[in-house]
Amino acid sequence: PKYVYRFSEGDKDQKDLLGGKGANLAEMTRLDLPVPPGFTITTDACRAYLASGEVPEELSVQVTTALRGVEEELGRELGAAEDPLLVSVRSGAKFSMPGMMETVLNIGLNDVSVKGLAAASSDERFAWDSYRRLIQMFGKTVLDIDGDHFSDALDAKKDARGVSMDYELPVDALQELVEEYKAIVKEHAGIDFPQDPRSQLDMATEAVFRSWNTERAHIYRRREKIPHDLGTAVNVCTMVFGNMGETSGTGVCFTRDPSTGRTGVYGDYLVNAQGEDVVAGIRNTLSLADLERLDKASYDELRSIMRRLETHYRDLCDIEFTIERGKLWMLQTRVGKRTAAAAFRVATQLVDEKLITMDEALTRVSGEQLTQLMFPQFDDDSSRDLLTRAMAASPGAAVGYIAFDNDEAVSRAEKGDSVILVRRETNPDDLPGMVAAAGVLTARGGKTSHAAVVARGMGKTCVCGAEALEVDSAGKTLRIAGREEVLTSEDIIAIDGTTGEVFLGEVGVVDSPVMTYLRRGLDEALKAAGDEDTRELVTAVDRLMRHADAVRRLEVRANADTPDDARHAIHRGAQGVGLCRTEHMFLGERKQFVQNLILASSDAEREAALAALLPLQKGDFIQMFETMNGKPMTVRLIDPPLHEFLPDLTELSVKVAVDRERGELDPADEELLAVVRKSHEANPMLGLRGVRLLLTMPGLIELQVRAIAEAAVERLKAGGDPHPEIMIPLIGSVRELQLARERVEHVLQEVSQASGYALDFPVGCMIELPRAAVTAAHVAEEADFFSFGTNDLTQTTWGFSRDDVESSFVGRYIDDGIFGISPFETIDVDGVGGMVSLGVEGGRSTKPKMKMGVCGEHGGDPESIIFFHRVGLDYVSCSPFRVPVARLEAGRAAV
């Protein structure tokens, strides 16, 4: 196989093979932008390596050919004694994984070529600094040596020479440092630092392959739902140097502001520095405006390239560039990560600039991003104690205890505390802590620092570069310049990722502007908006939501059991209730009546129990119908296992035994115990519940339907417009539905005759057992509609309990790649989804126009919604909070 592609051979659509970085380097090369020559080793090669543990032989040969090509083009040789060619070895998977994989710069330097570089650049200091960087990076990432050994040696050297900055070290100090670094390598890796340039290249390549499987790479992929079997590509790229003095430098820029979405370019620049210095956020940076002052020609060229890239990719791009002695080089571009707010604004800006259509704009935003915009913000009226103000790196409002390291963040979060991870700066090792924390605060680094980039990607609130902070991670204390107090892990702070403010103590939170929009409409939200950014944001959200509503085929309903929930759902755009559970109507104080019903030994007792329940249920339905006036409302008849209405077997046994001992036994308790014992089930979720309960418990189904019917009549009398749809749960065979349906219709008829109102409500069923899906053509004969209960259907198709997912093997299965993601979160398209397709096809073969929907968690899950759209459902029903997300995703599914 062809394992190696020159940059001039690929293009941006080859991300699977070349990784994102490689594909985009190829694209820029194709566009004739100034990209240093190089080549990409494919993800195929990585997968072959991971499968066999060895580098394929063809790869070595192909690397030689590609390398010779680059050498010929430049007239220099890798690691030669004179004017050596140096390269970087850079990882790059299909999906960008910031900071996950390793990059090694300055490959090709050794004891000889360092002198050649010094001569060629006429800069001895630069050459030795590059060499010590190579050993440091190589030692850390390729040989797995703890980076502290190198940074400690560097710090010690600076102390010894009485300087504070790296670049102040003179040549002889750097030469000493190189020797010390080599000794560190020897001591900790047990080998000499490799002097052979090609070995350096091969070892680094292998290290990139291996880094695909590090723990932090796994964590990141799990979180971002990136499959574990893609592998990474490796890019070998001619080195260009931003650290060749004052006319050199390196930077990162964006074609629009990735944090707010404001138009206008945006970036950070560091003079006399190499790439890693910016990304690591170790020094504070200059802006692009500063670059314009320093080097107008390079700045102008960069601006024109930025515009070109944005037009070419038709999206916000981010760019890494380096200027070597006044010559601009492009090192990376990609469609840039952005905050949720920026995503909505940029999408509509591009529509207005006629670069994309509204349909395309919809694909540029996601339900997940909308969710982030719905999160609350700090209340302007809440009292607050401002500690400091720094860079607003990733929006949101987070409040929590200070956590000084990963372990602390993870363990406290597990205990249920909200924590803010506070670090001087973060690096990829901090990922677990960042995942666990509610927000991240760093003392150093700009908007393109590791903390900022990763937090934005995760939608996590982040404030960075708060220089007033003195973080002592070892001592677990935090001081703030100009303040007395010493904060510890017992103190609460609040960070505002939108303004960059850091507060001491708790701060109250309020609705976000987008939430205000969803609750109260565009006009109100515009009125409430404090600034132009906010107005543009809510306008963008409104435009995209309206477009989604216009194009989507799926109707969006909500799962709501109470009038409050139903109201919330309607405000967020729900077109009906897809699931109104009735079990809560039997809980609390009413449980007693249900117990009476279960225990009834005569018809008279049973009727008394039913009579007591009827007005209560009817009252509930009247309220729901009032709220849902004119909109459909699917009422699911009682579903949970019988035992949920009875006392716990063990507790009651103990009570009875104790009471008997004391001679205080209540005969009623004894009787109850007998019933509880008799109805005890080993697997209640697979037991007497749903339609089985309705068919075996006399009077229950009649009670519920009567309550629905009489409530509807009341509303009709009052001029209301109730639309109940009666739904029978846990159907396995058409016969069950037939029997249940007869009884439902009997009651409807009775109430209809008594009241004089026609009550021809649809009667349908849930499809949540494989048998129902497989026999759907028959079941449909008795059903007016189907609602797929994908939670139970997942449980019954896979045969494992959904109540035990958290604690059981599912986590392990995800780690081992048996599940990509929990099938309770995103529908398992092949298996459970196959059941849904069977159900849809079967049902429609009997009744082509039959209404079908889904209720359950999957109804609000973006990926699942796309599947439900494809399989031909008519609606999804989800929790009220997720209704807007479902509307947007249903729109996205349709374009």
Residues that bind ligand ADP (CB under 6 A): 36, 88, 90, 99, 103, 105, 237-240, 275-276, 279, 320, 322, 331-332
Look at residues 463, 466, 475, 426 and name the one whose alpha carbon lies nearest to residue 443.
Answer: 466
Q: Which does 237 bind (CB under 5 to 8 A by kind): Mg ion, ligand ADP, none?
A: ligand ADP
In sequence order, the 6+-apart residues with CB closer than 8 A to the CB of 766 are 636, 690, 727, 728, 729, 730, 731, 772, 786, 787, 788, 789, 792, 855
Between 334 and 631, CB nearer to ligand ADP: 334
Instruction: Give CA–CA dist 314/311, Å, rounded.
Output: 5
Between 273 and 351, CB nearer to Mg ion: 273
The least CB distance from residue 470 to ligand ADP, in Å, is 28
Instruction: Give CA–CA dist 43/356, Å, rounded.
Output: 31
Residue 580 is among the residues annotated as catalytic for this protein: no
Q: Which does 103 bind (CB under 5 to 8 A by kind): ligand ADP, Mg ion, none?
A: ligand ADP
Contacts to Mg ion from residues 38-57, by CB under 5 A: none
The least CB distance from residue 79 to ligand ADP, in Å, is 15
What are the phi and psi torsion angles at 329 (to 5°)?
Answer: -130, 140
Stretch that binds Mg ion, among 327-335, 509-517, 583-591, 717-725 (CB under 5 A): 327-335
Which stretches of 532-631 are assigned E, i.e. beta strand? 555-559, 577-581
Look at residues 96, 90, 100, 93 and name the one whose alpha carbon lies nearest to residue 44.
Answer: 93
Between 87 and 361, CB nearer to ligand ADP: 87
Longest pairwise C-alpha distance within the chain: 106
User: Looking at 855, 858, 869, 878, which residue is catalytic?
Assistant: 855
User: Looking at 46, 237, 317, 450, which residue is catalytic?
Assistant: 450
Site string for Mg ion, 305-324 (x = CB under 5 A): ---------------x----
Instruction: Give CA–CA dist 109/107, Å, rounded.
Output: 6
Q: Which does 217 bind (CB under 5 to 8 A by kind): Mg ion, ligand ADP, none?
A: none
In sequence order, the 6+-apart residues with CB closer than 8 A to the CB of 849 are none
Note whether 333 binds Mg ion by CB under 5 A.
Answer: no
Distances (CA, A) of 188 to 139, 182, 409, 807: 9, 10, 30, 40
The least CB distance from residue 888 to Mg ion, in Å, is 31
The least CB distance from residue 43 to Mg ion, in Å, is 17
Provide the terminal-to-terminal Cα distance of the chain, rounded to the nearest Å. 37
Between 320 and 555, CB nearer to ligand ADP: 320
Note whether 250 binds Mg ion by CB under 5 A.
Answer: no
Distances (CA, A) of 705 to 148, 628, 634: 71, 18, 13
Between 209 and 517, CB nearer to ligand ADP: 209
Note whether 91 binds Mg ion by CB under 5 A.
Answer: no
Q: Which does 322 bind (CB under 5 to 8 A by kind): ligand ADP, Mg ion, none?
A: ligand ADP
Interface with Mg ion (CB under 5 A), residue from 106, 332, 349, 617: 332
Q: Which does 243 bind (CB under 5 to 8 A by kind): ligand ADP, Mg ion, none?
A: none
One-letter amino acid of 618: K
| Count of residues of this chain found to bind Mg ion when the rule CB under 5 A is applied | 2
Between 331 and 832, CB nearer to ligand ADP: 331
Q: Say if CB 779 and CB 731 are below 8 A apart.
A: yes
Note whether 582 binds Mg ion by CB under 5 A.
Answer: no
Between 88 and 795, CB nearer to ligand ADP: 88
Q: Which does 19 bind (CB under 5 to 8 A by kind): Mg ion, ligand ADP, none?
A: none
Q: Which does 736 bind (CB under 5 to 8 A by kind): ligand ADP, Mg ion, none?
A: none
The least CB distance from residue 253 to Mg ion, in Å, is 12
Between 447 and 606, CB nearer to Mg ion: 447
- Other Cβ atoms less than 10 A from the Cβ of 81: the count is 13
Q: For 141, which DSSP code?
A: I
The least CB distance from residue 208 to ligand ADP, in Å, is 10
Note whether 448 binds Mg ion by CB under 5 A.
Answer: no
Q: Which does 434 bind (CB under 5 to 8 A by kind): ligand ADP, Mg ion, none?
A: none
- DSSP code per residue over 10-42: --TT-HHHHHHHHHHHHHHHHTT-----EEEE-
Residue 855 is among the residues annotated as catalytic for this protein: yes
Distances (CA, A) of 764 to 751, 787, 792, 857: 19, 8, 17, 20
The least CB distance from residue 583 to Mg ion, in Å, is 53
Residue number with the smallest Cβ distance to Mg ion: 332
Q: Say if CB 661 and CB 628 are below 8 A apart.
A: no
Note whether 96 binds Mg ion by CB under 5 A.
Answer: no
Note whether 235 binds Mg ion by CB under 5 A.
Answer: no
The H or E element containing residue 815 is helix 810-815
In sequence order, the 6+-apart residues with CB closer than 8 A to the CB of 753 are none
Q: Supply angle C-alpha 746, 748, 751, rounded to 5.
A: 110
Active site residues per annotation: 450, 855
Contacts with Mg ion, residue ranges (CB under 5 A): 320, 332
